[in-house]
Amino acid sequence: MPARIDLDEARRKMVEFIRLKVDEAGAEGAVLGISGGVDSALTAYLAVEALGNRRVLGVMMPDGRVTPKGDVDDAMEVVRELGIKSSTVDIGPLHASFMKGLGRNRLAEGNLRARIRMALLYYHANASNRLVLGTGDRSELLLGYFCYDEDTAALTPEGEVPLDQLRRGADVFSLDPLTGGVRRSAVREVYSFPYDGPMVSFTGKGTDLLVTPNHRMLVREGGRSVYRQASELLERREFVTFSAAATAVLARGAEAQGYHGRVWCPDVPPFHNLAVSRSGGAVFCGNTKYGDGGADLLPIGDLYKTEVRELAGAMGVGRRIVAKKSSPRLWRGQKAEEEIGLAYEDVDRVLQMYADQKAGVDEIASALGVGRGRLEALLAKVASGEHKRRPPEVCRLR
């Protein structure tokens, strides 16, 4: 069964994390979006404990056409309880301005709302020398990995290591896209999930890869290194990538194929790529960086949703907020649990056993009493969720 963490110790670490990172940056404080949900409420409470209420700014960004009034009321309750400065912007008119002349697409329109909110947070951060605190939790962040197949190995100083044997803290080789130099980088985490869906196969001189369609490939274009989704490269007859010696190599023969098995997802900062091999020569290929790119810090990013609710209650967040069903509010009536197909309590138990304890599907189904069909559907969502992209690469001129 999933192991419990010490929430008192987690609280201490998150408070110290916020305080340390804000001080290291020489920032005046922190800014975060207050949505009326439990994630943003807990993040605000932790920020005030770390910095004091005078150094925390809460920004409420409802869309009057989509956001329920209850969410706005709950967000205001958090602001009042903490005594923090706040700002409110109805993003409806901004969103409508963007949509002039654009086609209707619910998902794209919803994601646009999220990006408008990110831009507003960074406006406030820049105007008052603050860091942006993200409010994503571990349950949400785990829904965004893209991965290698189970036969892929990482190139390490000790030789090739299969991804199922790669561990946190292990040294691997990364390519610095700006200098072209090979660097040792430490693995921050390795995640593994079942996957039943399309993969993209790349072959060529010294190249043999099988990755999920949205995996980021490190390629050479116009004299610089860029990332391209694997699915984009399907349309090309050939492209240039990098060998383990950081020399350009030609890849050919990209094709889509079905796959059923486990996929492996290493997280390797700071360059977010690593040298991998599947059957022969090693090449550099992007990994999937999880986390909300629209934030400087993710204080609660290692707490599962159920842990967020428990700690929020212990810290005094209002019971209505703690119990509220989660929703990104990207469109009217959106419910996170309906999209996932399971309650977060069940999702967290599955993710804890699978991501943390590396348990198999049969073991999880037996221990938790979750039907195999529903379990496989959930883990397929984990494997196929949308990943976050790196900031644009700089074209090096000097």
* Averaged pLDDT, 147-168: 88
For residues 297 and 378, membership in a common domain is answered with yes
Q: Which three-class secondary structure state does DSSP give residue 186? A: strand
Does residue 79 carry a pLDDT above 60? Answer: yes
186 confidence band (pLDDT: 50, 70, 90): very high
For residues 99 and 191, membership in a common domain is answered with no
For residues 153 and 269, membership in a common domain is answered with yes
For residues 306 and 233, membership in a common domain is answered with no
* Averaged pLDDT, 154-170: 90
For residues 175 and 282, membership in a common domain is answered with yes
- Separation between Cα atoms, residue 272 and residue 176, nearest integer Å: 9
Rounded to 5 degrees, what angle do the CA atoms 312, 111, 329 make? 40
Residue 2 domain-assigned (yes or no): no
Residue 109 domain-assigned (yes or no): yes
271, 286, 301 - which closes a domain = 286
CA distances 140 to 39, 136, 290, 303, Å, are 11, 6, 10, 10
Out of 52-66, 151-165, 236-250, 354-368, least confident range: 354-368
Residue 1 domain-assigned (yes or no): no
For residues 41 and 166, membership in a common domain is answered with no
For residues 65 and 176, membership in a common domain is answered with no
The total number of structural domains that make up the chain: 2
Extract the tokens encoding 280. 């022969």
Out of 108-112, 164-168, 356-360, least confident range: 356-360
Q: What DSSP state is assigned to residue 87?
A: E
Which pLDDT score, from 0 to 100, does residue 34 have? 94
157 confidence band (pLDDT: 50, 70, 90): very high
User: pLDDT higher for 333 or 67?
Assistant: 67
Which pLDDT score, from 0 to 100, does residue 393 have? 36
**What's this model's pTM, rounded to 2 decimal places?**
0.56
For residues 161 and 239, membership in a common domain is answered with yes
CATH code (residue 188): 2.170.16.10
Q: Which amino acid is at 52?
A: G
50 confidence band (pLDDT: 50, 70, 90): very high
Q: Which residue range forms the structural domain that includes residue 246?
A: 148-286
Does residue 395 carry a pLDDT above 60? Answer: no
Residue 322 domain-assigned (yes or no): yes
For residues 244 and 173, membership in a common domain is answered with yes
User: pLDDT higher for 77 or 301?
Assistant: 77
* Averaged pLDDT, 18-47: 93
296 confidence band (pLDDT: 50, 70, 90): confident
For residues 232 and 349, membership in a common domain is answered with no
Backbone angles phi, psi at 245, to 5 degrees: -90, 10
Residue 391 domain-assigned (yes or no): no
Which pLDDT score, from 0 to 100, does residue 368 have? 72
146: left (phi over 0), alpha (psi -120 to 50) or beta: beta
Mean of the per-residue pLDDT values of the chain: 77
Highest-scoring range by mean pLDDT, 46-55, 260-269, 306-315, 372-381: 46-55
286, 307, 335 - which closes a domain = 286
Residue 159 domain-assigned (yes or no): yes
- Separation between Cα atoms, residue 85 and residue 201, nearest integer Å: 52
Backbone angles phi, psi at 213, to 5 degrees: -60, -35
For residues 124 and 88, membership in a common domain is answered with yes
396 confidence band (pLDDT: 50, 70, 90): very low
- Separation between Cα atoms, residue 271 and residue 340, nearest integer Å: 31
Backbone angles phi, psi at 209, to 5 degrees: -135, 150
Does residue 162 carry a pLDDT above 50? Answer: yes
Which pLDDT score, from 0 to 100, does residue 314 have? 93
Residue 389 domain-assigned (yes or no): no
Look-up: residue for tokens 């390490």? 156
Which pLDDT score, from 0 to 100, does residue 317 have? 92
CATH code (residue 50): 3.40.50.620
Which pLDDT score, from 0 to 100, does residue 59 have? 96
263, 286, 309 - which closes a domain = 286
* DSSP for 329-354, written as a single string: -SSTT--HHHHHTS-HHHHHHHHIII
